[in-house]
Structure 1
């Protein structure tokens, strides 16, 4: 194991999960995800996209803290007491997206299946990305990993980035 692998293992053993962060760029939004919630709490891992990395990190940690206290988030849930103004919605991530977006979690679980939920944050008016009236300035910041079809899940920009890798 290298230094990063050891840190992931240490964080999971100490805190219950590790937060992996991926910096975005012009073509892809930043994202962060948990590693270890499934192992320690029998709860799906959590991934969230499209905000500043420190905000994403805090949000994943907040969800992890709630899970450690016994809260269970489920597919389709509009979760109160997660964000300050409007509740996010959790959706199940299709396993076909695990390698691309949760790769380190795949390493951690050594090929064993694991579950994941994507936390979708609403805009300032409470609209979610798939709802009419969602703020166009934020459109495309949160892929729809509950969709299996690449075009519907990723949109053209993120799909092009994945094909280029």
Structure 2
């Protein structure tokens, strides 16, 4: 479990001396965090595997966990994360049945060992991870979650990497 310290060491709160090196994507994240309170970074699917999306800035702005979602259409994941991003008090084990019509979502705490593989821009932003992340987990069409079926359509980041089945999600861990 990550200790919830409110000392933020992100690139907004601390000058690391490299602000002149920020590219357009970096500046876009900072602008979104300043304007909305978070930014959603999308990693599109490619030949290596499915895409994912995650928030950056909720921890900075409100001391709330960042959110991550995997394996669906990028626009769907970004929409879900923006809806959930507005909510306070998100925590492990919660159910959210009002984000995607007809599909309940569940939140699970991400083990810090996964951060480097999936949250590169978030690590750039915070510089001193780990910070808390929650995986937004979705069910299959029959309403079963990955912990019920073992499905690899999305990673099981609530497990430590050595307890996770070897599949497309574990290739960078």
> Does the pair score TM above 0.5?
yes
1:21 correspondence with 2:42: yes
Which whole-Å CA distance do the structure 2 matches of 1:9 and 1:154 have between them? 35
The Cα of 1:119 is off from its aligned counterpart by 0.4
C-alpha contact 1:49 1:142 (8 A) present in aligned 2: yes
C-alpha contact 1:38 1:114 (8 A) present in aligned 2: yes
Equivalent of residue 140 in structure 1, options 152, 161, 164: 152
The Cα of 1:124 is off from its aligned counterpart by 2.0
The Cα of 1:112 is off from its aligned counterpart by 4.3
Aligned residues: 152
Report the equivalent of 2:96.
79
Which whole-Å CA distance do the structure 1 matches of 2:94 and 2:70 have between them? 17
* Alpha-carbon displacement from aligned partner over 1:75-132 (angstroms, at most 9, x marks no partner): 1112232221131110000111111111111111121431100000112222101214
Give the 4+ runs in structure 1 shifted more than 3 A.
none
- Which structure shows the higher helix fraction? 1
Which whole-Å CA distance do the structure 2 matches of 1:12 and 1:84 have between them? 27
- Which structure shows the higher strand fraction? 2
C-alpha contact 1:146 1:153 (8 A) present in aligned 2: no
Which whole-Å CA distance do the structure 1 matches of 2:129 and 2:114 have between them? 15
TM-score (norm 1): 0.84
SS in 1 for 2:49: coil
C-alpha contact 1:17 1:37 (8 A) present in aligned 2: yes
The Cα of 1:26 is off from its aligned counterpart by 4.2
Report the equivalent of 2:139.
122
TM-score (norm 2): 0.80
* Alpha-carbon displacement from aligned partner over 1:13-49 (angstroms, at most 9, x marks no partner): 0011111001123442110000001111111000000
Which whole-Å CA distance do the structure 1 matches of 2:169 and 2:89 have between them? 30
C-alpha contact 1:43 1:72 (8 A) present in aligned 2: yes
